[in-house]
Structure 1
Amino acid sequence: MKRPLAIWALALIWGITLSDVNNYHLWGIISLILSIFIFILISRPLREKSSGFIFIAIPLLISGYVLHSINKNYYENSCKEWEGSKVSVEGALFNEPEFKDGKTRFIMNVESIDNQVISKNKKIRIQVSIYGDSQIHELKYGSVVNIISEIRIPLGRRNFGGFNSKKFLASRGVSGTIGTSEKALTILKGNRALWFKNTGYKLRHNMIDTLNKCMPAKESSVIAGMLIGYTSDMPEEMEENFRRAGLSHVMAVSGANIAFLLAPLLWLLKKMGFNPRWSSALAFPSMIFYVFATGMEASVIRAAIMAGVTLTGMLLWRKADIYCSLAVSAIIVLLGNTYMLFDLGFILSFSATLSLVIMYKPIFSRLPVKIPKIIRDTLAGTIAAQLGVIPIIAYCFNTFSLISVFTNLLIVPLTGIITVLGAILVIVGNLFFPAGKLLGVLLSLVVDVMLYVTETMAAIPWAEINLATPSIILVLLYYLILLFLIYGYPRLGKELAKPAFASIIVMCGAVILLISIPSKSLQIHFADVGQGDCAIIRTPSGQNIILDGGGSINDEEGSYAGECIVVPLLYNLNMTEIDLMIASHGHMDHIGGLKTVIDKINVKKLVVADTFDIEMRELTDYAVEKGVPVTRIKEGAFIYEEDNLTLKSLYPFTEEGLMPSNSTTNANELSLVARLDYGDFSALFTGDIGFESEKRLLDNNVQLSCDLLKVAHHGSKYSSDQSFIKAVNPNMSVISVGRNTYGHPSPEAIERIVGQGSIMYQTILNGGILVEVWEKETRMRVTTVVQ
């Protein structure tokens, strides 16, 4: 083993992983001991070839497990004693505040809570969101503030395969959150800014201001993104174009940026007469200030550590090994915060770099020699990096760019030029503004060329395709095949390599077939969309039905619930099209997310209640505009049918005399009520109906008795009347509810339902809820995201 550092890094990563997946320390310790035992067994035959340093991997394995266990306990419990209570929190801003979408967000180092001093060893950090119409200019990095509000502990994963905000915030050192109005904020005297970090932020502002003065706003925002990763001023449409064209990495600061900036600096120092040692020593502080100016993203930290290892090698007259540099940077980052292992920036940065290192030469050597070297070099680098991150992007973002290789071939050669010229522009613009202005005009022309190519390529309809979330098994098989082609195939020789590769493909095909066998059960997913409703049904024949899609009255441009919860959940459930969409009524907490689903996923049909629900027009008009056929139904209509399964409308009634006649009737009382029957199992979906509609259903002797009840109106005290619940008599009830000011779910409604002998689940407590039923059974298998 020539590179024990790589084994150390892998051991540390495995230790962190073992701690993370084991909720009980007994199983964690058993798995840790087994891992050490297996490592020793594997290492013994390699003792002669490997250095004794390889066994340092064992203490690093243990360190990874112990450190992550400590971190898990800290981030879960550090703010627990104040959770849900209104407290006075005093502290200093840890970073620069950002104003976007009506809120100012920053992280604060907490110094005291309700006058109880927090020890420096505890280091409680809270992410604060201050809601207001404008930016708070008095707030700066290091400002001392007092906030009177409620502390919340970040939530973990809330839906199957969903985003884990607890891990995301923990990777940034945050263990609590506060969301409040500007009235609760008081800016105190004093400042706790660290001079070197403050200098980095001042450098950031200077760079942005200089770019804005020397260039038009659009081009300036591109350079700011490429130089320091600052995209706040970039139009959303432009960001979307870069993403669709497979060029998002251009706006992410990484090792390439540091290389582009360090190389000219080292060359200049050399020309000034400094030897390599002095050049590397002088380059160090410049790199540190640059890291602070970029906002200290994971990719920048990784690249800075790798560059630091290289510069240290120059100081010691030693050449740095790229694998060892990667390993050292991973170890340093993870020992600093084990939760960085789950940070997407960390994963993408290391995957792309490692893939580039491993696959660049094999790909470059296989490209035709007739192709010019600069094109071969760009192609090899682009393909190598893309191969390493394709499954990660597909898994996390459910997208795949079909044109990324071509667009990178066109754009990547320009990025180095633009980055270096951007840095020169900042320097020249500060020293002699007219010259900076002239350079800004020239640089704008180059940026416009890049933007033209990006916009043109992004406009191609098939530039990007949406994918269902691949399973972890598929991702592992992908990397297995990739590693075999790089390392195994060349070493085996053609006679052995071809049959071996064929065997691997057959094995992978068999595994894919096994994991693709559809379940013949009926699956009903109740998504946690906060204060809203969303039920997703997969029938035994594999048809996909969505009933409501969450949302909020604050949804003006797009729906957070639709964009960040419902659509990702559909992809995680392997649903790339919706056979039937049902909207119970026109309130935004039910239909807001459905508009996003129509935008992102192919919807074959929309069904709504045939009533005078005026608010429903927003959705139906949008569906018609997008080419989705709309059907309006009343009592007795079969919404969907397949073998032994029916979904039938019970309400609104066909006879108009039985329905509210007042046009101002609340849309809740016009909700579509649907009954699902599958063999001996039945479920009732009640929208937001209240006592009035429940009474109408009872008076008309509608068949209400069922096994599963979706409780009406989020458990409102004005729904789920005693007589109604008695008639329904559900074995299990689900309340879809989030944090709200309406008193949902009400204790009275819960008491009425539980008093009838029904098992109660709530999305606010249990997260996403999956109910599975097999034919000829009424027994329900229930799985919840939050245990």
Structure 2
Amino acid sequence: MHPLDIRLAPAAGVCWAATLVGILLGWRAALTTALVLMLFAAAVLARARTRRAAPAVLAVLVIGAGFALSIAWRAHAVATHPLSSTDDGGHATATIVLSDDPKLLRANGGAPFGGGNRVVVHAQLREVRTAGRTIDVGGAVVVLAPADGWLALLPGQRVEVRGRVTEPLHRDLSVATIRATGPPSSVSEAPMLQRFAGAIRHNLSDTATRALGSDSAGLLPGMVVGDTSGMSDELLTDFKVAGLSHLTAVSGANFSILLGAVLLAVRGLTLGPRAGAAIAGVALVLFVVVVRPSPSVLRAAVMGSIGLLALVTGRRKQALPALGGAIIALLALFPSLAVDFGFALSVFATAGLIVLAPSWADWLRARGWPRWAAEMVAVASAAFAVTAPIIVGMSGTVGLVSILANLLVALVVPPVTVLGASAAVLASIWSPPAVLLARMAGPPLWWMVWVARHAAAFPGATMTVPGGLAGASVAAGAVALTIVALRFGITRRLLLAIAIGVAAVLIPVRISNPGWPPAGWIFVACDVGQGDGLVVSTGDGRAVVVDVGPDPSAMRTCLDRLGIHSVALLILSHLHADHITGLAGVLRSRSVAAVALGPMKLPAEGFRSVVETTAEMRTPLLDLAAGDRIDFPSLHLRVLAPLLPQPRDPVEAADSANDQSLVIAADTPAGRLLLTGDVEIAAQESLLRAGVDLHADILKVPHHGSRNTSNAFLAAVKPRLSVISVGADNTFGHPAPGLVSQLESLGSAVARTDRDGDVAVVMTGSGVGVVGSSDRATILS
């Protein structure tokens, strides 16, 4: 076995680290990094005669310093950009060129946010008009806009957009976020190549729709060109939980399959290596254009180009140097990839396949495994091992079924990819054979959907663990220890026995006696202490969350017990700590489509905390206001308040945050819920004056049962059940005894999280019931 050539690995690592420093810490930190690296280089140069490795070390330090200087220049340009000096929330008109297709901001269930669908658009600035001046300027921007007029745009089109200029959503070298107020204007024609690519994508989607069932029709374009717009939210979530979402991201594996098919066809035509390389190179460029340059595709394209160069020059291609060269080249051209989780996953997965998979496959074959089985298991296991720490750090979850799910679909991925790509080419030339090829892909597509659905539904398909840097470090240590332990026979047998024992105990228990939550639950008030954490079901494993309590671990634990793996929308009623501090516990442990806020963005520290946490997790922030409607399967939300004007004085406004809470009416199979945040008497009276229909079957009592609730408001609601989210032995005297007595006098049952634990509203055979988790006692039936 030839030793691995790791000479480019240190250089790639140093370049990546230097780029990260500049993007995350700013241009001053990048300049400092460059200076430190140059000082080390000078020290190495001074002692170069006495050290054989000095030239290699010197080269790494010099290229690292070069990257640090380059990213310092770029970061300084972002920090001093004209839009950076624009007042946050000020309006501007910008001329932009789209960098990618507009992406619909999804809510599971297809719900529109804030009264209408919205899109996110990545673009490059060309000109900005603000405060009476026009500036010719570049820079990357992100546009959040109503979907109307945007969805049909293609990369390369030049448009004008008017909107509010705010801070960038993420630290990724973008200079600003533009929150558009309407459709684009002055729309130019897309470049010919992008029109060609758009036609291929559209024709493939149309062919799949005519040839296949709905799920398979949405999956085929996702696998071939990365277009997931036809996939339902449920199917996307199932693929993510099952660990199969990489199949719809057009990863390097898809590229390798297609390039391999092209080279095989070229070999069949008995063409020479130079002609074959030229044809494969053209296919590479067209593939990148059609699928759009996602991080994994760019990585695969650069790596493939290095391989083509080796083919033309007659030199032996080695995969690890090619990967190192790909990292360096991509970061030089697109430095924002340094903070892209998809790029990191792609790089580490490829490194795992190069470094770990071959030796693991050899080990299995030496013990009698067939070659095909050994390679499949080795590839899936290596990919899981090297990407698990990144996934843990990013999401705080570990997929326990992903290896098995990937093994089950591994054999059908290549034929689906080749058949789909062939159908995409033919669909623009002659439709009937394209439809035939798409139908041939139908059975393997059905199999992939079946595996994803059943894997995602398996009890304990994902396990919640601490996320962030600490969680990733622990996961990396656990993976490394496991790999070392598996080298010894006694530890292999011990780990196998433990795994079998745990599975034998937990799986039957989870299937036959799931315990909490009770079957048929519709709404749960989580016991998060002195705060609110509310969950409304939208389907199996999916929910809308309203407020997240004061403790991330308490909110995460509640959602874990409910089996929630996907949050269609997370609403924060207002920005007090007892309603928002648990945000990280939700965002880091499951899929969250978006976080929605009311009009009040005070207290400032609360708003800043929410912005930073959502930016870290790349979760969109949306605005809600009175009158907005949001619809999900079996759940319909209507925003009733706030109706009171916001005080102009910032101190007075912050003090009135409770009365600026979002009040939401939720129509569910269990009846109407009224979710009231912390509204007090002034906000309650504004709702009564406005003649708003407040009647509800279930009331989330305002402000943890505070005495600042009017009897007229309670009488207008007249709930059958009142739920008070309150901490045990709190120092505020919540809930007020007089309030509880008033509710009982109205004929309402009262459930309290301090006494009953998590409170669940359930559908039973005879109607609606309410159960507490502390003793599983029925509160109302």
Partner of 2:715: 663
Moved more, 95-104 or 245-254: 95-104
Q: Is the 8 A contact 2:37 2:65 kept in 1?
A: no
Name the CA shift for 1:149/1:322 in 2 (closer, same or farther; >3 Å). same
User: Is the aligned partner of 1:449 residue 2:452?
Assistant: no
Q: Is the 8 A contact 1:111 1:117 kept in 2?
A: no
User: Is the aligned partner of 1:153 residue 2:157?
Assistant: no
User: Is the aligned partner of 1:129 residue 2:129?
Assistant: no
State how far apart, in whole Å, the 2-side matches of 1:686 and 1:440 are: 62
Q: Is the 8 A contact 1:91 1:144 kept in 2?
A: yes
User: Is the aligned partner of 1:278 residue 2:275?
Assistant: yes
State how far apart, in whole Å, the 2-side matches of 1:674 and 1:572 are: 23
Partner of 2:72: 69
Deviation at 1:319, TM superposition (A): 1.9
- Once the two structures are superposed, residues 504-562 of structure 1 have per-residue CA deviations (whole angstroms, 9 ceiling, x without a partner) of xxxxxxxxxxxxxxxxxx999999xxxx9765148xxx977999xxxxxxx99643559
- Higher RCO structure (Cα 8 Å, ≥6 apart): 2
Partner of 1:652: 707
- Match of 1:233, SS state, is coil
Partner of 1:722: none
State how far apart, in whole Å, the 1-side matches of 2:383 and 2:45 are: 31
User: Is the aligned partner of 1:81 residue 2:85?
Assistant: yes
Name the CA shift for 1:421/1:617 in 2 (closer, same or farther; >3 Å). closer
What is the letter of the counterpart of residue 387 of structure 1? A
Q: TM-score, normalised by structure 2?
A: 0.62
Name the CA shift for 1:342/1:36 in 2 (closer, same or farther; >3 Å). farther
User: Is the aligned partner of 1:16 residue 2:14?
Assistant: no
Q: Is the 8 A contact 2:30 2:72 kept in 1?
A: no
Deviation at 1:664, TM superposition (A): 4.3
State how far apart, in whole Å, the 2-side matches of 1:524 and 1:12 are: 47
Deviation at 1:449, TM superposition (A): 2.3
Q: Is the 8 A contact 2:529 2:549 kept in 1?
A: no
- Match of 2:275, SS state, is helix
Partner of 2:181: 181
User: Is the aligned partner of 1:166 residue 2:180?
Assistant: no
Partner of 1:321: 318
Deviation at 1:344, TM superposition (A): 0.8
- Once the two structures are superposed, residues 112-149 of structure 1 have per-residue CA deviations (whole angstroms, 9 ceiling, x without a partner) of 22285544xx42333223325x5557744444433332
Q: Is the 8 A contact 2:200 2:424 kept in 1?
A: no
- Once the two structures are superposed, residues 46-102 of structure 1 have per-residue CA deviations (whole angstroms, 9 ceiling, x without a partner) of 976547244221222212322333333333442123343222223333333345541
State how far apart, in whole Å, the 1-side matches of 2:314 and 2:333 are: 28
User: Is the aligned partner of 1:334 residue 2:331?
Assistant: yes
Partner of 2:122: 107
Deviation at 1:295, TM superposition (A): 1.8
Partner of 1:403: 401
- Once the two structures are superposed, residues 690-727 of structure 1 have per-residue CA deviations (whole angstroms, 9 ceiling, x without a partner) of xxx9xxxxxxxxxxxxxxxxxxxxxxxxxxxxxxxxxx
- Aligned runs of 1:417-436 on 2, under 5 Å? 417-436=415-434
Name the CA shift for 1:89/1:394 in 2 (closer, same or farther; >3 Å). same
Moved more, 135-144 or 390-399: 135-144
Moved more, 99-108 or 230-239: 99-108
Partner of 2:286: 289
Q: Is the 8 A contact 2:530 2:727 kept in 1?
A: no
Q: Is the 8 A contact 2:97 2:125 kept in 1?
A: yes
**Matched residues, number:** 569
Deviation at 1:620, TM superposition (A): 11
State how far apart, in whole Å, the 1-side matches of 2:424 and 2:346 are: 27
State how far apart, in whole Å, the 2-side matches of 1:218 and 1:572 are: 27
User: Is the aligned partner of 1:235 residue 2:232?
Assistant: yes
State how far apart, in whole Å, the 1-side matches of 2:329 and 2:63 are: 12
- Match of 1:129, SS state, is strand
Deviation at 1:355, TM superposition (A): 1.5
State how far apart, in whole Å, the 2-side matches of 1:237 and 1:178 are: 30
Deviation at 1:686, TM superposition (A): 12
Partner of 1:630: none
Gap runs ≥5 in structure 1:
155-164, 499-521, 548-554, 576-587, 600-612, 626-647, 688-692, 694-787
- Once the two structures are superposed, residues 608-652 of structure 1 have per-residue CA deviations (whole angstroms, 9 ceiling, x without a partner) of xxxxx9978859997999xxxxxxxxxxxxxxxxxxxxxx97733
State how far apart, in whole Å, the 1-side matches of 2:547 and 2:444 are: 49
Moved more, 350-359 or 475-484: 475-484
- Match of 1:394, SS state, is helix
State how far apart, in whole Å, the 1-side matches of 2:167 and 2:25 are: 21
Name the CA shift for 1:660/1:557 in 2 (closer, same or farther; >3 Å). same
Deviation at 1:565, TM superposition (A): 7.9
Partner of 1:90: 95
State how far apart, in whole Å, the 2-side matches of 1:246 and 1:43 are: 51
State how far apart, in whole Å, the 2-side matches of 1:306 and 1:614 are: 51
State how far apart, in whole Å, the 2-side matches of 1:414 and 1:544 are: 39
Q: Is the 8 A contact 1:4 1:51 kept in 2?
A: no
Q: Is the 8 A contact 1:104 1:136 kept in 2?
A: yes
Moved more, 22-31 or 263-272: 22-31
User: Is the aligned partner of 1:559 residue 2:575?
Assistant: no
Name the CA shift for 1:477/1:618 in 2 (closer, same or farther; >3 Å). closer
Name the CA shift for 1:544/1:410 in 2 (closer, same or farther; >3 Å). closer
Deviation at 1:661, TM superposition (A): 6.9
- Match of 1:230, SS state, is coil
State how far apart, in whole Å, the 2-side matches of 1:85 and 1:615 are: 28
Q: Is the 8 A contact 2:397 2:589 kept in 1?
A: no
Q: TM-score, normalised by structure 1?
A: 0.61
Deviation at 1:201, TM superposition (A): 3.3
State how far apart, in whole Å, the 1-side matches of 2:471 and 2:432 are: 56
Deviation at 1:342, TM superposition (A): 1.1
- Match of 1:283, SS state, is helix
Deviation at 1:430, TM superposition (A): 4.3
What is the letter of the counterpart of residue 438 of structure 2? G
Deviation at 1:480, TM superposition (A): 5.1
State how far apart, in whole Å, the 2-side matches of 1:250 and 1:623 are: 40
Q: Is the 8 A contact 1:210 1:430 kept in 2?
A: no
What is the letter of the counterpart of residue 177 of structure 1? T
What is the letter of the counterpart of residue 176 of structure 1? A
User: Is the aligned partner of 1:343 residue 2:350?
Assistant: no
What is the letter of the counterpart of residue 98 of structure 2? L
Deviation at 1:468, TM superposition (A): 3.1
Q: Is the 8 A contact 1:139 1:187 kept in 2?
A: no
- Once the two structures are superposed, residues 325-373 of structure 1 have per-residue CA deviations (whole angstroms, 9 ceiling, x without a partner) of 1111111121123331111111111111111211112321332543322
Gap runs ≥5 in structure 2:
106-111, 493-527, 534-545, 559-565, 574-578, 591-623, 636-660, 674-702, 740-781
Deviation at 1:310, TM superposition (A): 0.4
Name the CA shift for 1:247/1:6 in 2 (closer, same or farther; >3 Å). same
Q: Is the 8 A contact 2:31 2:72 kept in 1?
A: no
Name the CA shift for 1:533/1:221 in 2 (closer, same or farther; >3 Å). closer
Q: Is the 8 A contact 1:2 1:51 kept in 2?
A: no
Q: Is the 8 A contact 1:305 1:329 kept in 2?
A: yes
State how far apart, in whole Å, the 1-side matches of 2:140 and 2:424 are: 34
Give the aligned CA root-mean-square deviation in angstroms: 5.1
State how far apart, in whole Å, the 2-side matches of 1:61 and 1:125 are: 24
What is the letter of the counterpart of residue 453 of structure 1? V
What is the letter of the counterpart of residue 366 of structure 1? W
State how far apart, in whole Å, the 2-side matches of 1:460 and 1:253 are: 26
State how far apart, in whole Å, the 2-side matches of 1:533 and 1:271 are: 62
Name the CA shift for 1:240/1:47 in 2 (closer, same or farther; >3 Å). farther
Q: Is the 8 A contact 2:48 2:55 kept in 1?
A: no
Name the CA shift for 1:131/1:465 in 2 (closer, same or farther; >3 Å). same
- Aligned runs of 1:630-645 on 2, under 5 Å? none
